[in-house]
Amino acid sequence: MSNKSIHYHAQQAFTLVELLVTIAILAVVSTVAVPAYTDYSERIKVEQAIFDISKIEMRIESYIPTGPNLYPNSLAEVGMDGLIDPWGNPYQYLNHSNPNIKGINGKIRKDHNLHPISSDYDLYSMGKDGSSQSPLTAKASRDDIVRANNGRFIDLASKYSS
């Protein structure tokens, strides 16, 4: 073997320093890329929930009452009870016009002044954490996607201000 061929093979291998620099660069890129992708993915899920709530709202608004209530008592009455939000939870619905629901006032979604966010019905996704409480200011409700102001607002509860 000549010296020329030995020198050639030595240039083909990575040195430990080159390998460590490459790993460091990949680590820096991944610390930037992974959170950006996670944020993007979460925004897509929020947009999907907003779209779903709008679709459910259209079905509810086209509902023809069969009794004294102006709105259906459940999403099943408009064929939307099987719809699941992007986080794997069923959408939540509460008809305010049904006087037969016991304890309804404690279930109605409320703003920071504890006033109902809608006068007709509540429709929302419990968001990423899958839990919710009546006031939008509660920590469990901040990531909820809510329909408020009788449909004039559909977005994150954390963005809502009466």
Instruction: Locate the domains of the chain by residue range.
Output: 3-159
Instruction: Tokens for 144, please give them.
Output: 């909820």
pLDDT above 90 for 110: yes
pLDDT at 2: 53
Note the pLDDT tens digit of each residue in 62-78. Answer: 888 766 678 898 999 99
Phi, psi of 42 (to 5 degrees): -65, -40
Compute the distance between CA of residue 76 and CA of residue 33 in angstroms, rounded to an integer. 41
Between 28 and 14, where is the model more confident?
28
**Higher pLDDT, residue 132 or 16:** 132
CA dist., res. 17 & res. 115, Å (int) = 63
Check if the beta carbon of residue 52 is closer than 8 Å to that of residue 126.
no
State the pTM of this model: 0.77
